[in-house]
Structure 1
Amino acid sequence: MAGGKLRVLQVMRAPVGGLFRHVADLTRALAEAGHEVGLVVDSLANDAQTEGKLAALQPYATLGIHRFAMPRLLGAGDLKTPFAVRKLAQVLDIDVLHGHGAKGGFYARLARIGGKAVALYTPHGGVLHFSRSSLSGRVFHRLERALMAQTGAIIFESAYAQATYSALIGQPTCPTVVIHNGLAPDEFVPVVPETDAADFVFVGELRDLKGIFVLADALVGVTRADDSPATLVMAGDGPSRAPFEARIAQLGLQQRVTLLGAQPARPTFAKGRVAIVPSLAESLPYVVLEAAAAQLPVIATSVGGIPEIFGPTSSRLVPAGDVSALAAAMQGTLDAPDAAQAEMRDRLAHIESRFSLATMADSIQALYQSVLGRA
């Protein structure tokens, strides 16, 4: 149905994190453009938060939300679900199967075998996070190579992901394109810090990979202009919360660090004056985009696709895991707030021109039509 209304089935394992944010945004945009969309999700992950997120998407998913068993690693569901998705695609007369993440991409491409639909794939980190040395990594990387013939195109969220995929799996034999995640217009409205806002704000999972222990160590010697100790507010939860709280106590930071638990990002930004993302590894984190669009100065590490977000200000990124460099960046932002604001404006202009939701959705829809035209 090239050039007209499409019937699209998006396939993902679990509706959490940046992957779900991307799928939700794309589902709404496709529906608003007149296309019909259905979702395939994991029946094994069905807590109240998951169901609430899916319920909010129901008005846009006119082809329904369908649940099948999708084990996180390899499992029995992997033998049945691809066939169930293929049957569903045939019943719904699907034009485009779009798989998200390692499992979503696996099922979508297997499901197109023997059918008329084309299959596209967005890794979202997914398979890129599997080590070559692990059994799961070797299996998934082999599957990636085997499924290339069933792939109409691969969409990468960042040039970093595109390069990493080629290095791990090999140069794709299908078309590939980089389409950055995008933000809605209301996300570019400035967030005004609260009167009693902390100096720094962190939003993310409390786990080692997010650099939280490096952040705590860096905060120790950072001070304000009046020589009072700098403060930090953190929204998030995760497996490292208990050891992180112990580290805060060990460093004597209990009065300087406030843990809020899991909270939405945008309201939390108002509780700090400078956003900080000290991750040890990332793909293309929404939190960096969101904080920059909210017009906060941002301190971040040079990992994954973050340099693509920082654009003309990428020289300000700090090395991952470097306590001294992170502390220096934090202190420098407090010592020179005008320079931090000027840098923020340069970054904002870059993001506004390249990371809009409209640009993302239009580019993906154009790719769907292009792949269907080649099929």
Structure 2
Amino acid sequence: MTAASPLRIVHCFRSPVGGIFRHVRDLAEEHAKAGHHVGILCDSSTGGTYEDRLFETIMPHLSLGLTRMPIRRSLGPSDVSAALRTYKQIKELQPDVLHGHGAKGGAFVRLIGSRLRVSKSRVARLYSPHGGSLHYDRDKLRGRVYFAIERLLERWTDSLVFVSDYERQTYTTKIGSPRAPWRLIHNGLRTHEFEPVETVSDAVDFLYIGMMRDLKGPDVFIEALRRAEQISGRPLRGVMVGDGDDQPRYQSRIDAMGMGSRLTMRPAMPAREAFSLARTVVIPSRAESMPYIVLEAVAAGKPVISTRVGGIPEILGKDFEAFVEPGDAEELANVMVRSITDVGWLSHAMPEPAAFRSQFSAVAMAEAMSNLYQDCLAGQA
């Protein structure tokens, strides 16, 4: 990637947590290193101290600054005032590229970018769903409303960007074949993340890491760990790392099952720090797009057990032996037991490191994205 034609790039998304935030941080860092000017606009009501620390690490790369304001998750009247404030902020930044992530960020940048074009400002409008509205059911009213909005917004989109082929297929199934240009650009990791992570001396058996909400399957992880103890006939230990409004409910279930001494909860922390706490990472999600946590775990040399959802098969391989069906605690428990009784099985089932590294690089991801930005501005997307 070169800095021959530096761009002014603004990323807009709602919640600064999870995979979207990680994706934007990686793009911002790589593009800033290449000489581009980058800014972020996102919600001010989500995220905690952990996310605040992440913002501190990315600030040196944000020459266009960080703007935070209240942006609600659901559609509502407050979106009008939020959109007006967003328009004012973005107009002052004079961007070449507006890249929206998630449903709300995607709607804002396409509407605002189109308004800027009316004012004779040439700005590229890109949208990455990252799951977002694609999680809704097309057979329900809310889903039909969201999908109709997505279809309408395509006419003001210079390019859709999918992070997995699964996401593209889901978009086609629920919304229809894209009428706007699109590209597939996989998520990528930074060089240091491909270094193996050593486990601590008192590492537990299994790690859950992610948002504390049912969509990500922490409830299934709890039930499966207990069932794995019953199947194996011995106590097992686990740790759950992450934040979320449902955390008290999960803690209550753990306490009710008498597992409090063997299954502990810890607040959100850097993934590589969490990986050191356990021998095996479990991804029990009911739905995903292209989750960074799976990429990070594989790159760190951690064995992974995962549900077969979203773009995860594009990471682990469609024939990966440690896949389980989402929501099936019994099947997950059996695979967990095999991972501790069949020595070496899970490690040998993981992707080949060199091929994995060549496919999922943050540098390659950022370069492909930069090329797409330039093509959009040249009308060649």
TM-score normalised by the chain length of structure 2: 0.89
Within a 5 Å distance, the mapping from 1:1-375 to structure 2 comes to 4-45=5-46, 50-113=51-114, 114=118, 115-132=121-138, 136-222=142-228, 228-311=234-317, 313-344=319-350, 346-374=351-379
Structure 2 residue matching 1:147: 3-state secondary structure: helix
Structure 2 residue matching 1:71: 3-state secondary structure: coil
The C-alpha deviation readout for 1:313-352, integer Å capped at 9, x for no partner, is 53431111222221121111112222222223x3534431
8 A Cα contact 2:99 2:109, kept in partner: yes
Moved more, 29-38 or 207-216: 207-216
What letter matches 2:39 in structure 1?
G
What letter matches 1:211 in structure 2?
G
8 A Cα contact 1:311 1:350, kept in partner: no
Change (3 A) 1:206 1:63: closer
Moved more, 140-149 or 226-235: 226-235
Moved more, 73-82 or 43-52: 43-52
Q: For 1:311 and 1:116, how far apart are their aligned partners in 2?
A: 41
Q: For 2:228 and 2:91, how far apart are their aligned partners in 1?
A: 60
Change (3 A) 1:89 1:261: closer
Moved more, 28-37 or 243-252: 243-252
The C-alpha deviation readout for 1:118-161, integer Å capped at 9, x for no partner, is 10111111111233355543333222111111111111111111
- Counting matched residue pairs gives 373
Which sections of structure 2, spanning at least 5 residues, go unmatched? Answer: none
The C-alpha deviation readout for 1:284-323, integer Å capped at 9, x for no partner, is 2211111111101100110111111102653431111222
8 A Cα contact 1:221 1:229, kept in partner: no
* 1:13 CA drift (Å): 1.6
Q: For 1:365 and 1:3, how far apart are their aligned partners in 2?
A: 12
* 1:104 CA drift (Å): 0.8
CA RMSD after TM alignment: 2.6
Structure 1 residue matching 2:146: 3-state secondary structure: helix
Change (3 A) 1:203 1:6: same
Which sections of structure 1, spanning at least 5 residues, go unmatched? Answer: none
Q: For 2:290 and 2:45, how far apart are their aligned partners in 1?
A: 27
8 A Cα contact 2:254 2:260, kept in partner: yes
What letter matches 1:266 in structure 2?
R
Moved more, 270-279 or 198-207: 198-207
Identity of aligned residues (%): 41
The C-alpha deviation readout for 1:55-90, integer Å capped at 9, x for no partner, is 432221112223444222223342244455445444
Q: For 2:337 and 2:48, how far apart are their aligned partners in 1?
A: 42
TM-score normalised by the chain length of structure 1: 0.90
